[in-house]
Amino acid sequence: MPSRDKAKRLTTLALLAAAAFVLSWVDSLIPVSGTLPGAKLGLANLSVLIGLYLLGPLPGAALCGLKILLQTFLFGNAYAFFYSLAGGILSYLVMLLTRKRCSVMFVSALGGVFHNLGQVLVAAVILQTAGLMAYFPVLMLCGIGAGLAVGLAGGILISRLRSILPFIS
Amino acid sequence: MRPRRWEAVILGVVILALLIWALWPGDPGAAVSVSVNGQVTEVYPLDQPTIVSIDGYGGFLLTLVVSDGSAHVEYASCPDLICQHHRPISSAGEQIVCLPARIVLTVTGKEAGVDAVTR
């Protein structure tokens, strides 16, 4: 890869990181009440999704890590760290594994579902309770809904960015 | 980009199942059990009005109020206040969770057992 393309990819990653910053902030402004803490719209996942598709697994993971750090230390409570971490990692792994076989919207919906699943699992470990069952269906529905919305926006952005950024595969 | 047919079918079935699960009417509850850090500490019958303070993990305090057959959190000293804003719970299986204080309030049914937890 020519070093010029490398610089362009790095710049794209930096722009996506900046977008993740803003979207994490917007996420923190919109409360999703009645569910577990840490439940958000997940708009920041838009950045992660685009990074994963356009730049590849490693830059996507970097964006995902950045999103978790922002959510924990800038826009959230520090005690929610393990919830964000588990949700973020699980969701990213699922999106990574399914991205070539499924549509962007479906991948994003899976990401949303597994993000919330990760959080429920951590809550089960920390609270030493098997059942947070009353919250489970609502959380899954929120994950699917938010994931589909983010996936719709992400799909449009990914195809448009591909056509205007020729250095991206 | 748009979901393929098999993806849409999976999503539709899962959403429908989750909706039915979420909206399924619960049996009327008999009591509310308080669990702190995984240990059930107290059980209060729903037909007796009660106001109690619960010591949670990390020094957080919750005030549990039982009245008119339902339970809710009147006051919480935790940072997010999600449990305080939660609507009152009265059907078996309903829960209020305070993650910072590690407190789980669960309504149990007439026969306290498996049916009380699964909804």
**Comparison of pLDDT for B79 and A119, the residue scoring more:** A119
B11 is written with which tokens? 């999503």
Domain boundaries, chain A: 3-164
User: What are the boundaries of each domain within chain B?
Assistant: 26-117
Q: B1–A104: do the CB atoms touch at under 8 Å?
A: yes
- Give pLDDT tens digits along chain B (119 positions): 678 899 999 999 999 999 998 888 878 889 999 999 888 899 999 999 999 999 998 889 999 999 988 999 999 988 777 788 888 898 888 888 888 888 999 998 876 544 444 44
**CA dist list (Å): A49 to A46, A149, B62:** 5, 12, 39
Sign of CA dihedral A111, A117, A121, A126: positive
Interface predicted TM-score (ipTM) of this complex, two decimals: 0.80
pLDDT in tens, B22-39: 888 878 889 999 999 888
Whether residues B1 and A106 touch (CB distance < 8 A) is answered with no
Predicted model pTM = 0.83
Q: Which residues are within 8 A (CB) of B82 and not within 5 positions of it... i.e. 6 or more apart?
A: A33, A34, A35, A36, A37, B97, B98, B99
**Which ranges of A45-102 would DSSP assign to H, the alpha helix?**
45-54, 57-69, 81-98
CB atoms within 10 A of CB B112: 14
Amino acid at site B29: G
A79–B22 C-beta distance less than 8 A: no
What's the CA gap between A144 and A53, in Å, rounded? 20
CATH superfamily of B26-117: N-utilization substance G protein NusG, insert domain (2.60.320.10)
Distance CA(B106)–CA(B119), nearest Å, equals: 11
Write down the CATH number for the domain with range A3-164: 1.10.1760.20
Nearest chain A residue (CA) to B97 = A36
Compare A103 and A75 and report the one with higher pLDDT. A103
